[in-house]
Structure 1
């Protein structure tokens, strides 16, 4: 398989999975076992493509929040977005500074996929028993921030899944409202994480020797695919549950544990 084609596939996988509750990091780790491992720079750039996609999809919401700060509801919402991001940064940065790195084996990813799927089913069940709530509370904001850190530490968890379903478990029972808040928090979170990683790599002289054509192709593929996926998902969850994604995670996790040798 050519390097350009494998880069294209990895970009598409990132765009498909970054905002679906199935774990983009987990899927990339799995895919790179067959498509070849890539540099941290490559992985950061294709994640940036997904960030661009969600900014474009939610541009009207972002604009209304930015121009409507004179309204109490908008100020409250923006403050809660900031709180969720700040919690992620304050808890996540020390983890990064302690030298945590992604595992290079599939087994922990498979286990996280299964546990995350079961968690999603539980959160969906709880949300179905709660009143229809769309207001983001301070508890939800803090919970979303902590969930993003947990997802960053355990690949296969999924940042969007951990945050959306903790928000639902904490009382934000409307799926679309939970997803929108998590996607909006994800914009500064992923920009900050990508920027920090790039600065760290630049300071260590690790940005050379990149295959720039492959990086560019994967970035565009991630952005285009992510745009389509986010628009589809926000429409889909208005009338459907996340249970299908939960069962997919469980099936994939079990399949990986059965088909791949331990520690592979």
Structure 2
């Protein structure tokens, strides 16, 4: 496959899957495995993730900026920012401790990724049906204790194939957060989480980074950015009306197809 076309395809995949509960990392790793794509130092994957982060920043800059400007005089705005910080901290601790194991072992195990896609899909289908009645309808007004436990749930997503947004959304739903608010809190939490993860990945692999294929990287970055903007705008409306079942079924289909592909090529 032509490199530019492959770069655009992977950028599209990143943008489509980063902020919905299907595991962008799992999709990218499996696509790279089956398409024979290899990026020295994972430069390509890291940079296109940055494209998705910037897409989210462009959409939520006004809301977060408003909270930050009001925080010194508005206790609710300050509380919203503190809730995000508290939810972010568990990922910092676990990420620093387990980063090398995750990147060198778990990310290189396609079977594990496929299985986790299927398991996560089943969990989404179940939670979509049995989640308790919602108590919280505003993503910026969650109790601090619940924000912390949502952050703990997010740490499970360090296993590739689990999905960061999926883990946070499932945790939020089980703690009485309404479906749309759960998705929006996941989006907001992804800003510090993904930003820190991209920065740490760049730092840890700084000696391995390869920017020789700048055209491919630029194409993947641009496609990921534009696609992520469109997906985030669409996702909140879709989830508010239809819930998460479609994402659960998608995960099961992709995970099963990947397992079959791995078995046939073994």
TM-score by length of 1: 0.91
CA distance in structure 2 between the partners assigned to 1:259 and 1:18 by the alignment: 23
How far is the alpha carbon of 1:255 from its aligned partner? Answer: 2.4
Q: Which runs of 5+ in 1 are unaligned?
A: none
**Counterpart Cα distance in 1 of 2:84 and 2:190:** 9
Partner of 2:59: 57
Give the C-alpha shift of residue 97 in structure 1: 5.2
Q: Pick from 146, 158, 178 the counterpart of residue 152 of structure 2.
A: 146
- Measured against aligned partners, the alpha-carbon deviations of 1:141-186 in whole angstroms (never above 9, x if no partner) come to 122222222111x1111100111111111221x1111111111111
1:109 touches 1:156 (CA, 8 Å); kept in 2? yes
Distance 2:134 2:247 in 1: 23
Look up the match of 1:2: 2
Once the two structures are TM-superposed, the CA of residue 192 in structure 1 deviates from its matched residue by 0.8
- Change in Cα spacing, 1:99 to 1:230, as seen in structure 2 (3 Å) is closer
Q: CA deviation at 1:132?
A: 4.2
Q: 1:24 to 1:99 in 2, by over 3 A?
A: closer
How far 1:68 moved relative to its partner? 1.9
Rounded Cα–Cα distance in structure 1 between residues aligned with 2:195 and 2:183: 18
Q: Is the 8 A contact 1:139 1:170 kept in 2?
A: no
Q: How is 1:208-227 mapped onto 2 (pairs within 5 angstroms)?
A: 208=210, 210-227=212-229
Displacement of 1:22 in angstroms is: 0.6
Q: Deviations over 1:94-118 (max 9, x none)?
A: 1115575343242111110111011
Matched, 1:188 2:192: yes
Q: Which residue of 1 aligns with 2:237?
A: 235
Relative distance call for 1:66 and 1:32 in structure 2 (3 A) is: same
Hey, what does 1:91 align to over in structure 2? 94
SS at match of 2:96: helix
Match of 2:124 among 114, 120, 126: 120
Paired residue for 1:170, among 166, 169, 175?
175
The runs of 5 or more residues in structure 2 that have no matched partner are none
Give deviations 1:196-248, integer Å, cap 9, x for gaps.
Answer: 1111222xx21245311111111011000000000100121221111111111
Separation (CA, whole Å) in 1 of partners of 2:110 and 2:100: 24
Relative to structure 1, is the Cα distance of residues 103 and 91 closer, same or farther in structure 2, using a 3 angstrom cutoff? closer
Match in the other structure for 2:183:
179
Contact 1:91 1:146 in 2 (8 A): no
CA distance in 2 between counterparts of 1:44 and 1:259 reads 26
- CA shift for structure 1 position 131: 3.9
RMSD of aligned alpha carbons: 1.9
Deviations 1:117-138 (A, max 9, x none): 11112222232x4144224123
SS in 2 for 1:85: helix
Asked whether the 8 Å contact 1:151–1:162 carries over to 2, the reply is yes
